[in-house]
Structure 1
Amino acid sequence: MSVELLAAKTKTIDPSGAGLSPSYVGFIVGAGQTARETCSDRAAQLVAAALNQEVGTLFEDAPFTLKESPSPRRTEISATPLPNQLMTQVELSDFLRMSMSWIDQQIQEARARGELWPGLHYVGRSRRFDPVAVLEGQRRQRASA
């Protein structure tokens, strides 16, 4: 089945009629440089329904998921198990579902205020992040906004 056909099928299945865009379907099912390792529960359900498959046969549950975006527009992040180790910036970016440039911007803004971004640790010349401290810092930032 082509990406375009699968996207069209998700529109017929979706109760809201929105479905998934062909580009998003391509990100989910593709294997190229733009392929994604994760997708939303809604997207997984629509793809599975369009293919007459169980979600569990096509997709794996993530060991931890971010229920809400860490951006200030959202209000809450779920309390899900976090890794017991420091993360690289790439891992933190995937975990937060935010870009690496967003993380860089947050670090620069904190530095401009004379602060160290919560959860940031320098190991030699490389950055490592404590995801628990990062999320707590984001909660405090939202509360003060």
Structure 2
Amino acid sequence: MAEAKKTATKTVKKTATAKKTAAKKAPVVAPKLNDATYATGKRKDSVARVYLMPGKGNVIVNGKPAAEYFRRAVLQMIVAQPFGVTKRETSYDIVAMVEGGGLSGQAGAVKHGISKALEKAEPELRAVLKSAGFLTRDSRVVERKHYGFRKARRSTQFSKR
């Protein structure tokens, strides 16, 4: 009986240490942000912290290249839109930390953050970014579910008889 308890506690300790080492294996490396311009972008439930620094056009999102983090081409296009409008594709490097929401909301948050950071770095780009609509926060969020309905707007099926 005592031996069974000892082996049980050993296995519990092993799994606990395995979980700790698994958590330690992937540390987030903080980039060197000496002369970076900082801005936050928001979309739906996502919040992106964006650092813009002079570079060659590399975009890193949550420690991964943007093409690897946002695998769908549409999302990659959304992230690159501010650079296309301002013709600054190879002028800056981006480091973004984004959390919350899904991939679509995160891509929109990164786009909003990049636009705000570009405007801080080069104030003369404000007119171009504003006319493209990249500086305004998209305030559309999911509508709440209402009582008496199955979803936000979907009601129960109506029967005449």
| TM-score between both structures, scaled by the size of structure 2 | 0.30
Q: Which has the higher strand share?
A: 2
Between the two structures, name the one with larger relative contact order (CA 8 Å, sep ≥ 6).
2
| TM-score between both structures, scaled by the size of structure 1 | 0.32
